[in-house]
Structure formats: C-alpha cells, structure tokens
Amino acid sequence: MTATQGKPRGASSGCAGPDAGLYGGDLIACPGCDLLHRRVALSPGATARCRRCGHRLYTREPRGVEYPLALTLAAVVFFLLANTFPFVAIEIQGITREINLLSAAITLFHQGMPVLGLFAAALIFAFPLLQLIGMLVVLVPLYRNRAGAMGCVVLRWVSLVSPWSMMEIYLLSVLVSLVKLATYADVTLGIAFWNFVALVITNLWTLQVMDREALWRRLEALS
C-alpha cells in the first residue's frame, strides 16, 4: 500500500514521533527521498511505501505490544546471564584464562586508553542496557493500557540510543578473533557467549517487530 502525498503544516502538540514535531502528527517523511506522505490507516500486517522511491514508510504489526514486550523480557534475561558468567575460556600451554564480556574494555583501561575503554563499555554494555530499560518503561505500561509518566520522552530517547547499541558488531569481531585464537590455543565458549548470541538475535528481532509508529500514536492517545 502507498501512503498519500501531503503538504507540510504546523507542528502538532502532545506526544508524537520525531517526524511529527516538524511536519504534523499525520505526515511522515520518506527516509529514502524525504518526500512527505500523509499517513493512512493500514490493515494488520500491511506496509505503507513511498510513492516516489518505494522505500518502506511504516508497517502495522498485527501483534500489538505483547510480542515486542515478551522479546524484550527475554533479552533482559539474556543480558543478565551474558554479563554474569564467563564469556570464553582460553587455554595456552596448560594455563587457562576465563574472559568475561567487559574484558576488552577493562584491558583498554589497564593499557592506558581509558577513552577507548569507556567507549567500548558504552557500546557493548551501557547503551544496550539503557535501550532495554527504556523499552520496558514504554511497553509495560502500554501492555496495561497506560501511557506511563515518561512514555513519550523515553520512547524518543530509545530511538536515539538504539543506533549506538552495537552488540552485533562486537559479536562479529569476537568471532573473528576466536577463529584466529583457535589455531594456537584451546578455546571453550562459555555460557555467557551463547546468551550473548541469543541477546543479539532477540534484540534485532524486537526492533524488527516493534511498530514504533503505532507506539507513538498509542502513547499520544493515552496521554
């Protein structure tokens, strides 16, 4: 389905998504070509696309908030387990060393690179944690048909923090390093590694199924 083309008008008030503050609550800008479209009602599972370039504008997810909330709760469990147990164990010449998820950041601190260490800790720990907390703050009240005191602000904040959560990039870099280490050391993947893999998959899945446009509108209606 293609959204109808519209003209800008005054900014709307109340709880609204990032685009609504510039173009009005019922208009959306195409991420691909910036063409403005007026939002139209979609049937569950339908997708609105740009009339000019065909880029996806928004999708009406048929599952509501229950599905992303369940995935977020699972992601929280995986996050806690990934940061509690050993990530990998490396044995070289009979000496075994267990490494946890934040070992890379801690090593950078010890080697005199605190800025890089802080940046690494933020990307693989702080930002993912803030994203998960923010999603719970938004989704739990919505599941109970409430907006929450800070729902609009937190959802906007989650939209800004999400791109900085680079767990999947960290996972790929770890896999490359482990492949190289396996040539001269015995590498054992710990419980935290598999929970981190599950966390990355669950987090990407949550962002894929979460209909942010619907969340904005529901928060606005309940505010």
Determine contact, residues 2/46, Cβ cutoff 8 Å.
no
Q: Which amino acid is at 21?
A: G
3-state secondary structure of 201: helix
Per-residue pLDDT of the chain (223 residues; tens, 9 = 90+): 555 554 444 444 456 555 444 334 578 888 889 888 888 877 777 888 899 898 888 777 666 788 899 999 999 999 999 999 999 898 888 888 888 888 878 887 888 888 888 888 888 888 899 999 999 999 998 888 887 667 888 888 888 888 777 888 888 888 888 888 888 889 899 999 999 999 999 999 988 888 777 787 778 777 6
pTM for this model (two decimals): 0.75
Q: Which of 28, 59, 55 is nearest to 42 (CA)?
A: 59
Angle between helices 127-143 and 212-222 (to 10 degrees): 50
Q: What share of the chain is helix, strand, coil (3-state, %, to 5)?
A: 55, 15, 35
Domains annotated on the chain, with CATH? 1-60 (no CATH), 66-222 (1.20.140)
| The pair of three-digit structure tokens given for residue 80, joined into one six-digit string | 């806690």
CA-CA distance, 213 to 9, in Å (whole number)?
A: 19
pLDDT of 22: 39
Buried b (16+ CB within 10 A) or exposed e, 38-73: ebeebeeeeebbbeeeeeebbbbbeeebebbbebbb
